[in-house]
Amino acid sequence: MFWATACAMPPTPTIDRHTAMTEKNLLTVKNLKTLFVMDEGTSTAVDGVSFTVDQGQVVGIVGESGCGKSVTIKSILRIIQKPGQVVGGEILFRQAGGKNGADGEVIDLAKLDGRGKEMRAIRGNQITLIPQEPMAALSPVHTIGNQLIEAVRLHMDVSKVQAAEIAIKRMAEVGMPNPEERMELYSWELSGGLRQRVMIAMALLCNPRLLIADEPTTAIDVTTQAQVLSLLRDLQENHDLAIIFITHDLGVIAQVADDVVVMYLGRVMESGPVDDIFHNPLHPYTKALLASIPSVHGTTRGPLPAIEGAIPHPFNRPTGCPFHPRCASHIPGTCDRRTPVLVAKNDRQSVSCFLQNDAAEED
């Protein structure tokens, strides 16, 4: 039913404080690597991903389907299912502690047992998830009210009446019409937009510090998309929430994100502030994604620009830069042999491309 777990403050795990994080950093992911080891071979779903999220910041992660976006956030939440496993890197998270959480203990989530008490106390409490498909996350045989009340009572020491009041308050906060009446309905009696509001309300039950939205606008119409995006912006401002927004729609990212992380085949191709990425893209993959966005300012009718080729099979990753087989600007003898690393191009943007720097992974 509801995936979130214990909402009480977790005991502090015996993990050393990582002094490299600044006080404004809420989450720092460093060289994260996630593999799926199967009989057919090994698939590297996340290959050395690094990025940071500050308190109150919205970070968008974009890329084509199959680029490792969802696996990255599932790795952070430690909900990767077998045969997947996090095999390397750090996931440094600052827990609530001092004023505004600035002095909270920094722990490495990668070192915690995904099913252990410490991780379950963080997941669903301080870090929550809005899943991609609400119908798959909500029980069809229990009312919305039953699911919300059960979640509250599992996490908080309150009565059933108090839990209902908390649930109704959250439902009203996310713009649910007649929340008391909606508590008596089943998920299949609600529209896609209302189901998405239920999931947002669930994610906010415990006043999280970090909210992860995994393509929350994919399965709804454009009008409802605009409403959900506006709601998330308001919630982020009112609660000083940090949000990781996963999508393949750069138009959505332009509306909600402060910073952008562009992924391809499990690697970060480029990262930086949203204005810099949109107005001065550095990586050929970022440029290709931006060129494929429809525009009302077009003067001719014709097919939209498209990125040639397709994402390689997970068991047949190309050598060198993962994007080079589809890149019109690749450097023969370099891009197909050496793997570029993510390097700061300036004080705002970082890029992984030999057209911008010559830094490569050691053989």
pLDDT band at 40 (very low <50, low <70, confident <90, very high): confident
pLDDT band at 103 (very low <50, low <70, confident <90, very high): low
- pLDDT recorded at residue 2: 37
Check whether 235 has a pLDDT greater than 60: yes
Domain range 1-126+208-306, its CATH number among 1.10.3720.10, 1.20.120.350, 3.40.50.300, 3.60.10.10 = 3.40.50.300
Segments of the chain assigned to CATH 3.40.50.300: 1-126+208-306
**Mean pLDDT of the chain, nearest integer:** 85
CA distance 37 to 82: 9
- pLDDT recorded at residue 299: 64
CA distance 363 to 356: 20
pLDDT band at 9 (very low <50, low <70, confident <90, very high): very low
Identify which of 99-108, 116-125, 175-184 has the greatest average pLDDT: 175-184
Give bridge partners of residue 243 from the DSSP assignment.
58, 211
Check whether 170 has a pLDDT greater than 60: yes
Determine the average pLDDT of the residues in 248-252: 84
- pLDDT recorded at residue 298: 63
Residue carrying the six token digits 């009008």 = 223
Output the six-digit token pair for 342.
């993510």
Determine the average pLDDT of the residues in 87-110: 79
Contact 44, 81 (CB under 8 A): no
- pLDDT recorded at residue 297: 67
Q: What is the spatial order of strands in the sheet that 210-214 belongs to? A: 127-130, 210-214, 242-246, 58-62, 259-264, 267-273, 350-351, 343-344
pLDDT in tens, 267-279: 999 999 999 999 9
Determine the average pLDDT of the residues in 189-213: 87
Q: Could you give the percent of the chain with pLDDT greater than 90?
A: 44
